[in-house]
Amino acid sequence: MNRRKVKIIYTGGTIGMVRDYEDGGLRPFDFDNLLKQIPELNEFKLELTSAKLDPPIDSSNMNPEVWKKLLKIIADNYDEMDGFVILHGTDTMAYTASALSFMIRNQSKPIILTGSQLPIDTIRTDGKENIITAIEIASSYYRGKARVPEVAVYFEYFLHRGNRTTKYSSDHFDAFKSPNYPVLAEANIDIKYKRHALLKPSDDKTTFHYSLCGEITVLKMYPGISPKIVKHVLATPDAKAIIIETFGSGNTITDSWFIEALKKRIDKGLIVLNVSQCMQGSVKQGLYETSEKLKEIGVISAGDMTFEASITKLMFVMDRFSSLKSIRREMERDINGERSIDEVEFNCLDMDIQSMDSSETGSQK
């Protein structure tokens, strides 16, 4: 039997750093010598190859242009490889995982992101275990099909769906959580895959979408927010959409000036997406009086999506569709496991998700 092939893609971040003992600084090490850094990988009966961003970047500098570069590496090697491991800084890992989950359609192979809280040459580093297990997951097949045919994040013994993941700690090794979806796998003595939670591999041709719309601004609600601030954010030049980070299950102030300001901009074509500030739970517009008006004026509910999934999905959907009706439909349905559909809210949608304007079909990219 031919050996499984896994490509390791290094973007930058703590996991790829080694200490320069002359000046005490951290430097990226050469991933061509990965097997020398982690000799345990020689135990795998795998064919490992590597690629890297040139130059590597701190994950705080991650942006859609870098996502396109990552996507091209994956696309160029997709047919040849059995799986991919992306080594990534932790700060924006959940954003990258979410973005890739939308930019890759009909995925059939594992794409596993991982990183570390300590440099890989540190005695107590978490990086080696994370890399070793991520590679094992990326190469794991059953009856000829990948066990994890999706974009996922592996960190500190747990595998999470990429577009359900958020970074919750900068101090702990278990830095990531999936607050509204169960783990996909747990690595103990054996790796236990949760088959009921995993996406099914697609038999359709995998496609890659490189274009995103980044003309989005964010308004975070807080008690005492002033009309001037709200109106200034709503008037952001060139913004096609705004994400409102609301309280609890999607609640905001009910002052008439606020609702009227939102309605005025929505009527002029601004997309408004309601995302909860709570890590766990769901936006349920209309559950309380403080969100009922939002639903009436056309604010879109993000349901139980993370902020990271909400903004990257919006980038993806806005690039493909132009009408408010189509954007609403796509944002309020599950594209790739990123959100749960609340049955009550779903039944209240004033549109047929099976229909699509012929003009919209022609505008897809």
Instruction: State the catalytic residues.
Output: 14
SS3 111: strand
Whole-angstrom CA distances from 281 to 108, 142, 334 are: 30, 34, 16
- Taking residue 248's Cβ as centre, other Cβ atoms within 10 Å add up to 16
End-to-end CA, the chain: 39
Residue 198 CB-half CA count within 13 A: 25
Residue 165 CB-half CA count within 13 A: 33
Tokens 């709200």, residue located: 230
Vertex 87, ends 83 and 92: CA angle to 5°? Answer: 120
E-strand ranges in the chain read 4-10, 17-19, 26-28, 46-52, 83-87, 104-105, 111-114, 141-142, 145-146, 151-155, 158-161, 166-167, 176-177, 185-187, 191-193, 207-208, 216-220, 241-246, 271-276, 300-301
Q: Which of 24, 27, 21, 91 is nearest to 56 (CA)?
A: 27
Q: How does DSSP assign 284-333, residue by residue?
A: -TTSSHHHHHHHHHTPEE-TT--HHHHHHHHHHHHHH--SHHHHHHHHTS
User: Rounded to an integer, what distance in angstroms lies between the CA atom of residue 177 and that of residue 106?
Assistant: 25
Amino acid type, 8? I
Whole-angstrom CA distances from 306 to 89, 180, 252, 253, 278 are: 19, 8, 18, 22, 9
User: Rounded to an integer, what distance in angstroms lies between the CA atom of residue 326 and that of residue 328?
Assistant: 5
